[in-house]
Structure 1
Amino acid sequence: MTTSIDNPAKPEFASHRSYWDNFARRVRHERRYVWDDHVKAFVATVLATLKDRDVALKRGQIFLRAQRGIEYVAFKRNGPEEPSGYGRERMKPRRFKSTEGRANAVGVPVLYLGTSVKSVVSEVRPWVGAEISVAHFKLKRRLRALDLTRGHNKSTINYVFKAVMNGEASLTPEMREDAVWIDIDNAFSKPVTLSDDAADYVPTQILAEVFRDAGYDALVYRSQFGEGANIVLFNPDDADITACAPYRVTAFEVSCEKMGNSWYKAKKKTKKTAAKNAKRGTTAPKTV
């Protein structure tokens, strides 16, 4: 655990683990609303190292949003009811009653969007056969967005290994900065589940407010579900719904790879084996 403090004046992070040790752990489990010097220095250093991460979202750009469920509507008078996407009000977050997410606290509405149907449908954790509404949102004005995608799918393991083997001083300031921003991107990109501890949201919620206060209208980060990016609009009224269609989930594709060694249970010692080992003067392996 790092005890050194980040330095926004240089600007320079004290450690490759500054996100976790100087910030995330502290705001989750120690101080959330009144920050200590470590958290203040970390936030200031983050703002001092943004370095050309601005991107412009153009007026008229189309993004997508998914919600579980659909409606059945009679499009013609006395006609049969047909599947339809939810209406405008249902597809936008409820004002003052929004649930929390990676970029917002309870009651603070933001608009979560995406760039592909597959990614936005996956974000709502559907099951095979689930019916999903997918809406098109059109930006009403040009927005200043912060691009967090540079660290997507990268790992800090090389920085960790070098720091463990040779000490933190073996990492250049640029290496520590890269590692911290990779951790920030991965924290926002981490899929949200119903079983998550509410405290897990706190670090990214705080950073989202910091970025909003710094003048950003939106955040861009990669989706963990296939190609595409996720977009967070801090003001849900910056986009209008132009269409909404019903979808049905037909299948899931799962891809996985082994990431560690297998463990094996030792064979149980039987009476026959014990007698044989006693005769040989040996003992059987202990049962795990």
Structure 2
Amino acid sequence: MQQIEMDDPSKREFASYRSYGEFARRVRHQSRYVWDEHVKAFIGTVLATLKDRDVVLKKGTPLYRAQLGIDYVSFDKNRPDEPSGYNAARMKPRPNRSTEGRANAAGVSVLYLGTTEQNVISEVRPWVGAEISVAQFELKRNLRTLDLTRGHGKSSLSMLLDHLVNGTPLTPEQRETAVWIDIDNAFSRPVTKTDDAAEYVPTQILAEVFRSAGYDAIGYKSQFGENGFNIVVFNPDDADVLNCAPYQVKRLDVSFEEMGNRWYRSEKVQKAKSSSKRRSAKASPKQV
């Protein structure tokens, strides 16, 4: 069996451009709570290559959070109830009762926010006609934030074609860039209720590692909209709800592109089938 080379935190070098994928495989399918030497080396190298990714989100920064559903409240008993956004408590995660998320395990509460109303509404996967509460939050203090957005929209494979085709060795800098692109894409990948909980494990571990390294939040690019960023605030008490309004989704825009090889029906096979059908029809006795 081929020996897998380990990352080297002391040199600040990843052994391979596929180091994140190897880490994810190990913690998903081998051991997620007791780390082997490969996982420890990967985590150490991640921490050793954090350089220049610090961003400070300033106290008072406005951010948004969306939840499916709204309230209906009565302001006048002689008039019908009017739509209203959920109350402040409803717009924050329940302490110790959070469900699995990209950056948190079940029972660990973090606050998922976004920089625009459009990106937070899109993140809840609405349908046309869906009613949604959108709250505006304000940060109560400066937050040291890890910026994961540098590799957004790129593929670690796109920069490796020369290596894959010609066998040209990758530089440590190229391997590092590729691994951090994979980390950003892992956090940015949309979450659905049908996801296997094991899919979250690698990013959950990294989120805890970043938190233990002294970060108050992480930021990554939203897959919905060019201008939106997602912000995970590790302590939900670091942000207050300022207001909350009811919205209704009026239209959904879908963008798509072909991502693989198109297959074509074989004309020879089709002709053979047609010929077989004709011979079968001739051989069959006529019904009276």
Q: Normalization by structure 2: what TM-score?
A: 0.91
Q: Per-residue deviation at 1:158?
A: 2.9
One-letter amino acid matched to 1:222? K
CA distance in structure 1 between the aligned counterparts of 2:271 and 2:188, rounded to whole angstroms: 45
Show the counterpart of 2:201. Answer: 202
Show the counterpart of 2:185. Answer: 186
2:21 alignment partner, SS class: helix
1:45 alignment partner, SS class: helix
Show the counterpart of 1:60. Answer: 60
1:170 alignment partner, SS class: coil
CA distance in structure 2 between the aligned counterparts of 1:249 and 1:160, rounded to whole angstroms: 41
One-letter amino acid matched to 2:140? K
Q: 1:66–1:133: 8 Å Cα contact kept in structure 2?
A: yes
Q: 1:183 to 1:2 in 2, by over 3 A?
A: farther
2:90 alignment partner, SS class: helix
Q: Per-residue deviation at 1:263?
A: 0.6
CA distance in structure 1 between the aligned counterparts of 2:256 and 2:187, rounded to whole angstroms: 22
Q: Per-residue deviation at 1:161?
A: 2.6
| Within-5 A mapping of 1:70-219 | 70-76=70-76, 79-167=79-167, 170-219=169-218
CA distance in structure 2 between the aligned counterparts of 1:235 and 1:154, rounded to whole angstroms: 30
Q: 1:132 to 1:109 in 2, by over 3 A?
A: same
CA distance in structure 2 between the aligned counterparts of 1:107 and 1:223, rounded to whole angstroms: 24
One-letter amino acid matched to 1:28? R
| Identical positions, percent | 66
One-letter amino acid matched to 1:175? Q
CA distance in structure 1 between the aligned counterparts of 2:57 and 2:275, rounded to whole angstroms: 74
Q: Per-residue deviation at 1:100?
A: 1.1
One-letter amino acid matched to 1:10? K
One-letter amino acid matched to 2:63? F
Deviation per CA, 1:5-64: give whole Å up to 9, x if none.
00001110000000001x100000001000011000000000000011000000011100
One-letter amino acid matched to 2:181? I
Q: 1:120 to 1:274 in 2, by over 3 A?
A: closer
Q: Give unmatched runs, 5+ long, in structure 1.
A: 277-288
Q: 1:98 to 1:268 in 2, by over 3 A?
A: farther
- Cα-Cα RMSD: 1.9
Q: 1:63–1:136: 8 Å Cα contact kept in structure 2?
A: yes
Q: 1:162–1:171: 8 Å Cα contact kept in structure 2?
A: no
One-letter amino acid matched to 1:57? L
Question: Relative to structure 2, which stretch is displaced further, 212-221 or 116-125?
Answer: 116-125
CA distance in structure 2 between the aligned counterparts of 1:106 and 1:275, rounded to whole angstroms: 62
CA distance in structure 1 between the aligned counterparts of 2:3 and 2:18, rounded to whole angstroms: 7
CA distance in structure 2 between the aligned counterparts of 1:247 and 1:210, rounded to whole angstroms: 36
Show the counterpart of 1:17. Answer: 18
Deviation per CA, 1:136-190: give whole Å up to 9, x if none.
01000011000000010011123443332344x6100000000000000000000
1:178 alignment partner, SS class: helix
1:187 alignment partner, SS class: helix
Q: 1:172 to 1:265 in 2, by over 3 A?
A: same
Q: Per-residue deviation at 1:75?
A: 2.9
Q: 1:46 to 1:76 in 2, by over 3 A?
A: same
CA distance in structure 2 between the aligned counterparts of 1:272 and 1:66, rounded to whole angstroms: 60
CA distance in structure 2 between the aligned counterparts of 1:258 and 1:155, rounded to whole angstroms: 16
Q: 1:78 to 1:185 in 2, by over 3 A?
A: same
One-letter amino acid matched to 1:94? R
CA distance in structure 2 between the aligned counterparts of 1:260 and 1:270, rounded to whole angstroms: 28
Q: 1:79 to 1:183 in 2, by over 3 A?
A: same
Q: 1:217 to 1:271 in 2, by over 3 A?
A: closer
Q: Give unmatched runs, 5+ long, in structure 2.
A: 280-288
Q: Normalization by structure 1: what TM-score?
A: 0.91
